[in-house]
């Protein structure tokens, strides 16, 4: 008999299933806590659930987390985990420890179809959308899972190109019967697909980071081919009408490509574009496998240009460059 996957179910969905077989529905919430917060490896270890119900779950449901195929450790302490789907398609998660924040960067797709010219994930093409099991499993199947207090949905793939599993995973991350993360401790990065942004604003489930990379629509469309669908002006206009309400935050991300998008004109227009939104810009150096201090210096100078135009900006630290784990470098490669 083929078993159904239990990861991804909510207490309401599980309640209907167990009540239909004569078990008490209020036990569904406790089962979900075992699955999502305690990362149970077997139904039999759920010792506060009646044995009859545990045996029913064992007969009818599968509880098996993804296993990482390999991992690499960076000189800065970051760790990149390589996973594979059942079809053999790779995806990665990166653990970044810190004094107060232990962050996990998770993927939502194997590959990506957005085609960003500076991104190694885009260069590998689109392989597969990740399921709820694949997305949630990145957190619950690594050794550091219990120490993680920040989640960034910024790994491989465009989250709003795989919306249903992503929104279900965000629900599990936040729910009291799930992993109980605060929405302010989760940040999702997107190129700004308006239909997805509408759902994010309504759900109030995470901070939002918009991949900008140029304030000029014609140039941004070359850097992000899929970004041609919505211009920077369209995105800003959307947030003017549907703002991100506090305590959640809106920010913009800007990968600096020397002599392409780092002029004073770019800085001035970026500051002018997003000034009405009163938000922050994260400036990101162009990351390459060998590293390049010139790229970081160019990013630092662009950050200073934004500051000079009155736009608050931060130079983001590139974690895990030596293991291809930094922004734009994840491409499903092992050692």
Over residues 120-134, the pLDDT tens digits come to: 888 888 999 999 999
Q: Per residue in 139-189, pLDDT tens?
A: 999 999 999 999 999 999 999 999 999 999 999 999 999 999 999 999 999
Residues 55 and 104 in one domain: no
In-domain check, residue 92: yes
Q: Which of 32, 119, 206, 327 is catalytic?
A: 327
Residues 102 and 185 in one domain: yes
CATH of the domain at 243: 3.20.20.70
In-domain check, residue 304: yes
In-domain check, residue 297: yes
CA-based nearest residue to 203, from 248, 239, 162: 248
16-37 mean pLDDT: 94
Residues 52 and 125 in one domain: no
Residues 222 and 145 in one domain: yes
Q: What is the 3-state secondary structure (H, E, C) of 140-202?
A: HCCCCHHHCCEEEECCCCCHHHCHHHHHHHHHHHHCCCCCCCCHHHEEEEECCCHHHHHHHHH
Active site residue 327: yes
Domain count, the chain: 2
CA-based nearest residue to 140, from 28, 37, 48: 37
In-domain check, residue 332: no
pLDDT > 70? residue 291: no
Residues 41 and 78 in one domain: no
Residues 172 and 123 in one domain: yes
In-domain check, residue 330: no
Residue 88: CA atoms inside 13 Å, Cβ hemisphere, count?
A: 0
Residues 122 and 252 in one domain: yes
In-domain check, residue 298: yes
Boundary (domain end) residue, out of 62, 79, 104: 62
Residues 41 and 87 in one domain: no
CATH of the domain at 14: 1.10.150.530
Residues 52 and 106 in one domain: no
Active site residue 92: yes
**Which residue range(s) make up the domain with 146?**
70-323
The whole-model pTM stands at 0.93
CB-based burial label for 279 (10 Å; 0-12, 13-18, 19+): buried
Boundary (domain end) residue, out of 16, 37, 62: 62
The Cα 282–Cα 312 span in angstroms is 9
**Bridge-partner residues for 73, per DSSP?**
79
pLDDT > 60? residue 223: yes
In-domain check, residue 333: no
The Cα 214–Cα 118 span in angstroms is 13
Residue 228 pLDDT level (bands cut at 50, 70, 90): confident
Q: Which of 32, 92, 206, 279 is catalytic?
A: 92
Residues 87 and 215 in one domain: yes
CA-based nearest residue to 254, from 220, 222, 229: 220
Residues 16 and 111 in one domain: no
In-domain check, residue 328: no
The beta-strand segments (E) located in the chain are: 4-5, 61-62, 70-73, 79-84, 90-96, 103-105, 109-111, 126-129, 150-153, 186-190, 207-211, 250-256, 280-285, 313-315
Q: Per residue in 292-302, pLDDT tens?
A: 788 899 999 99
């Amino acid at each position: 008999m083929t078993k159904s996957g239990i990861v991804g179910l909510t207490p309401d969905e599980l309640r209907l299933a167990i009540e239909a077989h004569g078990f008490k529905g209020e036990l569904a919430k406790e089962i979900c806590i075992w699955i999502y917060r305690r990362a149970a490896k077997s139904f039999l270890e759920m010792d506060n659930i009646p044995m009859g119900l545990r045996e029913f779950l064992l007969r009818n449901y599968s509880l098996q987390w993804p296993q990482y195929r390999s991992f690499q450790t960076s000189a800065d302490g970051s760790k990149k985990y390589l996973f594979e789907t059942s079809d053999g398609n790779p995806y990665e998660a990166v653990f970044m420890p810190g004094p107060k924040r232990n962050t996990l960067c998770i993927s939502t797709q194997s590959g990506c179809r957005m085609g960003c010219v500076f991104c190694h994930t885009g260069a590998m093409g689109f392989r597969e959308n990740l399921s709820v099991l694949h997305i949630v499993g990145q957190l619950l199947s690594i050794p550091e899972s219990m120490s993680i207090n920040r989640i960034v949905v910024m790994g491989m793939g465009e989250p709003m190109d795989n919306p249903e599993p992503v929104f279900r995973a965000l629900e599990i991350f936040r729910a009291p019967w799930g992993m109980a993360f605060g929405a302010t401790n989760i940040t999702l990065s997107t190129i700004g697909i308006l239909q997805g942004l509408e759902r994010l604003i309504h759900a109030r489930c995470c901070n939002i980071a918009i991949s900008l990379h140029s304030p000029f629509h014609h140039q941004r469309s070359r850097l992000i081919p899929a970004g041609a669908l919505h211009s920077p002006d369209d995105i800003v206009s959307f947030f003017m009408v549907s703002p991100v309400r506090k305590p959640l935050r809106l920010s913009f991300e800007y990968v600096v490509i020397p002599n392409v998008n780092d002029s004073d004109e770019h800085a001035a227009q970026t500051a002018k574009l997003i000034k009405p939104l009163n938000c922050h810009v994260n400036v990101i150096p162009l990351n390459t496998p060998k590293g390049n201090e010139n790229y970081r210096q160019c990013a630092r100078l662009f950050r200073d240009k934004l500051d000079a135009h009155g736009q608050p900006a931060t130079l983001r630290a590139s974690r895990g460059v030596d293991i291809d784990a930094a922004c734009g470098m994840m491409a499903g490669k092992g050692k």
